[in-house]
Structure 1
């Protein structure tokens, strides 16, 4: 995810403060899957998700998110926001299978194709990257980054509550620093607590450039428009990210440790053929 300038209307203020779509019962415990849940279901996105867009609130007049007859979710990229689950989840195994389309749009035109999955989302929609009067596209959360050259980066995203007060988000990762001083996950690194910012996956190219079709020499994401499998193991306050079977990042002492899931739209066309939640395996990589 790369943050972009915000676009809002008075409608967003009303949505942020009053919409029943975003409201979660504080007494409701998060769901811990005991069997596989297909979030794409039978093609009815409203069964598990609602929509949030910076220029549309809870409406999707441009049909940014559509289900094809083949059961594949099409995200046009024509907007900033995402599909957010109605329920909160904890202690789960998440599988996303996606491939890029060819289009890059808006402020991301000719930039690296960008998306992501926000985990453990808390607080109001638009609470990260904006203000109560000027909501942003995201929520307080921990991101599993999906961007050309950076699939598997961890982003710690502390936002604000509906009153504009800071909300907490953090993660501890074992890291080394690259030549530019950026944090890179390494099993042999030094345990470091992050209250915001990005922890690069272990093989991220230090020469990464924000240009379309960027691919680093060690990338494990499938090239071009090939399908890529991203797995997230969320166990207690730990996270493990695996891309095409390769563990690329991990964190401990994660907060929040439960919440909604948000699949982003961020100016790049994306197709998703699988979005599943299931119980954690007996052995976590």
Structure 2
């Protein structure tokens, strides 16, 4: 096992025999798509060479694992294939109130220009105060470092460590956010569709 520590605390970039790919050779097996209006996964996502998953980013909704996870290290790579737009990685997706078409979850923002922001979606909560103005929507805890997103068309990476309600996020190797006492502290993992086409690759999870 080889590890390269990126910052203090839980966060590490890890190349490990224990990491599993969340997209296998069958593509979207093990995933569930929820959109409004309803759409078939094959009409929204497509398999590309070298394990890349492409999506048009619409209709609005999310793709979620059928399995639930608690303590883990998640690695995600994404890039914009057209004009950069909005998107996010949803952590700890749980049944409950919805935020428009998105579920109770903690969102790691991949929106162009805001990668690394954290958002409590619907009824989700965490201990740290938001940086967005009181009463405004959406509620946001902005990233703590300078913008580390790469230019449009280049691959970006998010490394996310979740352990017992603590979530730490690095974007392209730069530590960008940390929250504690996140609720829910476990659940499914998903990707938002918010209108902009993008691609995914190397989506891996290591249980802690």
Say yes or no: TM over 0.5: yes
Higher strand share: 2
Q: Once the 2 structures are TM-superposed, how far is the Cα of residue 70 of structure 1 from its aligned partner?
A: 2.7
**Structure 2: segments with no counterpart, 5+ residues:** 1-16
Q: Residue in 1 aligned with 2:69?
A: 89
Aligned-partner Cα distance in 2 for 1:152–1:263: 14
Q: Residue in 2 aligned with 1:142?
A: 106
SS at match of 1:229: strand
Query: What is the correspondence of 1:23-102 to structure 2 with a 5 Å cutoff?
Result: 35-46=18-29, 48-56=30-38, 59-60=40-41, 63-102=43-82
Q: Residue in 2 aligned with 1:199?
A: 141
SS at match of 1:147: coil
Aligned-partner Cα distance in 1 for 2:106–2:165: 11
Q: Once the 2 structures are TM-superposed, how far is the Cα of residue 81 of structure 1 from its aligned partner?
A: 0.8
Aligned-partner Cα distance in 1 for 2:61–2:196: 12
2:98 aligned with 1:128: yes
SS at match of 2:49: coil
Instruction: With a CA cutoff of 8 Å and minimum separation of 6, indicate the structure with the bigger relative contact order.
Output: 2
CA RMSD, Structure 1 to Structure 2 (Å):
2.1
SS at match of 1:255: coil
Q: Is the 8 A contact 1:82 1:262 kept in 2?
A: yes
Quick one: which of 148, 161, 179 aligns to 1:233? 161
Q: Residue in 1 aligned with 2:8?
A: none
Aligned-partner Cα distance in 2 for 1:71–1:199: 32
Once the two structures are superposed, residues 122-177 of structure 1 have per-residue CA deviations (whole angstroms, 9 ceiling, x without a partner) of 005xx412xxxxxx42110111111011001110012xxxxxxxxx42112267x5
Q: Is the 8 A contact 1:43 1:67 kept in 2?
A: no
Query: What is the correspondence of 1:174-193 to structure 2 with a 5 Å cutoff?
Result: 182=133
2:107 aligned with 1:152: no
Once the two structures are superposed, residues 153-212 of structure 1 have per-residue CA deviations (whole angstroms, 9 ceiling, x without a partner) of 110012xxxxxxxxx42112267x5xxx649xxxxxxxxxxxx82111114xxxxxxxxx
SS at match of 1:128: strand
TM-score (norm 1): 0.62
SS at match of 1:70: helix
Q: Is the 8 A contact 1:53 1:60 kept in 2?
A: no
182 and 220 in structure 1: CA distance in 2 versus 1, 3 angstrom threshold:
farther
Q: Residue in 2 aligned with 1:115?
A: 87
TM-score (norm 2): 0.83
Q: Larger Rg: 1 or 2?
A: 1
Q: Is the 8 A contact 2:129 2:141 kept in 1?
A: no
